[in-house]
Chain A
Amino acid sequence: MERPILEVKHFHAWFGTHEVVKNVNLTLHRNEVVAVMGPSGCGKTTFLRCINRMHELTPEARTEGQILLEGEDIYRMSPIMLRLRVGMVFQRPNPFPHMTIYENVLAGYLLNNIKLSRSDKDAIVEDALRKAALWEEVKNNLKKKGTFLSGGQQQRLCIARAIAMKPDLLLLDEPTSALDPISTAGIEELLQELKKNYTLIIVTHNMQQAARVSDETAFFYMGELVEFAPTRQLFTAPKDQRTQNYITGRFS
């Protein structure tokens, strides 16, 4: 059995005195899609942001416990190095408005002052855009601003921007909640493709989406990880009453 890519051990997170994530334990393997679902305010987004330490941007955020990325404690790494290895896609598409499509894909390199040769740049841009299923649509408009694209295209551009850094892990925070159904379907299809090369954690409040896209599902409720199981099993034979209640729509 290969080493798990992510191990979370007795993990807690607080904002001030408010405990948002309570004692989470889970293990993640390579090339899986894991859905994190639960009602609003259950701590799922906070948990996701702890994995690349984005929660530290909020003052008074505090954590306890361990998160290991390939065996390394992420809270002992520099957050910069960690974020280079763990990509993130946000709720609303957020391409940099002052950059072209080409520059947006390379934004991670640009921001970190990593110098690349022209041919390396071209190769990275094409590869990332192909993997994000956007290449065919934009290959003749690489010099246009990223904000000219449609919402779904912008979100795929953001995915390309994240995978251009060749991350070990890709975090997606409700990546389709601001998109129309057709773009959503496009992104979901893309996730299946990305699975071949990356490990994905996707936060969603949409149960159907979790069921459609993921191999394993984690159900969060009131900051607790209630149940973590293969998706089919969690949806057909939940072990916990709260999971049962949630998937049958007794609360949302």
Chain B
Amino acid sequence: MPEPLPTFTSKTHASTSSRAEVSRSIPRSHRLIARISNADRKDQWFRHTLHIAGLIVLCLVIAIFLTLIVGSIPSFRATGIHFFWGKVWDPVTEVFGALPFLAGTLLTSFLALFISLPFSLSIAIFLGEYFPPGKGKNRMAGVVREAVELIAGIPSVIYGFWGLFVLVPLVRQLEMKWHVLPYGVGIFTASLILALMIIPYAASLGREIIHMVPAELKEAAYSLGATRWEVIRHVVLPYARTGILAGILLSLGRALGETMAVTMVIGNTSALPKNIFSPGNTLASVIANEFTEAASNVYLSALIELGLVLFLVTTLIHLIGKRIIKQFST
């Protein structure tokens, strides 16, 4: 006969054990109940704390949005809705139009995305499929993985410096060869720097997602006579596409808002860019450049309104991206 399991209100236990044991088990069970109710209270506290943390984040976003709106009011009174598509930005005559910067932001970001995509995708496949973590000991793969993470950790001012002293002269030589005005600085240079900066975002997320593709799906494809490339092309990438898109979106968001490095190599001109080699400005870089010299109320308010535009663009692209991801994942 197996011994009955001791439970803290067990009658069988009481009847089969000595009185001393019973008397010892009673305070113990009380203590247990007390401990459980105490844990329950802690659990509630913990939940409340989490709720509060969540609420704080929500309040912060709303507060930032409101601050931007309130700060934009003087500029909006002066320029009106024309602000959003005005082509001229001239603080001296107080004519404020955001279009050159909007164009600069979108041009640099999407160009950067376009340049970085082949690299981040290859890195993601290399690290996620060919040399996944923990499988074999490939020195090269380990070094690449570390390097990708390192790229994300370098402060953007260092990218700016590097861009200014290395990339700008290179681009200038290229421009001379292609017979365009050899500024060196400009939209193209900024896009190159941005492309380098956003690679880790798409690459690491892509790597994670590719690594998560179930082995049984890959095996199914191999068993049907697929080569490694065919498995990647027809099974791994389609399966991982949602995650890869999310990574692209993440890196786009990063590119839209990047300020320091872009400001240092974009040329800081308030004219609408004529082509991708023109100097220009992005929403973020013009704010960084000009807020110290914004003497008049309207000027400062116009810069804040640029911030509002950047906020809206980022949110809009985020929402569109979410929609695309949702469509792809069903």
Contact = CB atoms under 8 A, between A and B. Distances in A.
Interface of A: 52, 54, 57, 59, 80-81, 83-84, 87-88, 90, 92, 94, 96-98, 107-108, 110-113, 158, 161-162, 165
A87 B235 CA distance: 18
Contact of A107 (B135, B136, B224, B227): B224
16 contacts: A52-B223, A54-B219, A57-B219, A83-B224, A83-B225, A87-B223, A90-B219, A92-B216, A94-B217, A94-B219, A94-B220, A107-B220, A111-B230, A112-B224, A112-B230, A165-B225
A200 B219 CA distance: 19
A111 B216 contact: no
Interface string B130-150: 000001100000000000000
B325 to A, nearest CB: 14
B225 A108 contact: yes
B128 to A, nearest CB: 16
Contact of B224 (A57, A92, A108): A108
B214 interface: yes
A161 B238 CA distance: 19
Interface string B206-235: 000000001011011111111100110011
Contact of B225 (A81, A96, A97): A81
B219 to A, nearest CB: 7
B225 A98 contact: no
B222 A161 contact: no
Interface in B13-67: none
Contacts of A96: 217, 220-221, 235, 238-239
Nearest to B238: A98
Contacts of A165: 224-225
Given A94-B214, A94-B217, A111-B230, A88 B235 contact: no
List 3 tightest A-B contacts by C-beta distance, closest first.
Answer: A88-B223, A108-B224, A111-B226
A31 B219 CA distance: 26
B225 A158 contact: no
Given A94-B214, A96-B217, A96-B235, A111 B224 contact: yes
B118 to A, nearest CB: 22
A57 B226 CA distance: 12
